[in-house]
Amino acid sequence: MVILLLLVTFVISLLVCFITARLFNKSLDVILNRLIPEDISKSWLRYLNFAMYVVGISAGVRVYQLQQYFTPQFAGEKGEAVVTALTPERWALEIYSTIIGTLSGIAWMLLVFFVVALIAYVIVRIFEAKKHNQQ
């Protein structure tokens, strides 16, 4: 059952990454085309999409938290071993956590990219202004 949960969370995280990558693909392409030459920007766009999948899946599929479903935890006065059961409510919670974790990871990655891109854009504009003033 835990393997099925792992597979389901992976597929959901992959799907969320796919949808998010499709939504941001045009924006990222425009930004990269403005900052770097077109032949290199396509490679950077491909890398950013790859990074989006890696960050999203690693943030969404929390393997270390799935261990609670097969590793006994000691509780109670007598120290009995208890394994958390995979109830329908737990499934819903894990799926929700997967979606939110995936989106959160991608959001942080894109925030860092956009901050760096904004700084690069300002630098490019400064050099363009200096070049224009020299002519």
Mean pLDDT across 12-39:
93
Report pLDDT digits (tens) over 56-74: 999 999 887 877 777 777 6
Reported as a pLDDT band with limits 50, 70 and 90, residue 135 is confident
Mean pLDDT across 125-132:
88
User: Residue ranges of the domains in the chain?
Assistant: 2-134
- Alpha-carbon distances of 27 from 1, 31, 51, 92, rounded to whole Å: 40, 6, 16, 33
- Check if the beta carbon of residue 36 is closer than 8 Å to that of residue 87: no
What pLDDT shows up at residue 22?
97
- E-only strand ranges, 1-135: 73-75, 80-82
DSSP label at residue 135: -
For residue 52, pLDDT over 80 is answered with yes
Report pLDDT digits (tens) over 105-123: 999 999 999 999 999 999 9
Mean pLDDT of the chain: 89
57 CB-side CA count, 13 A: 15
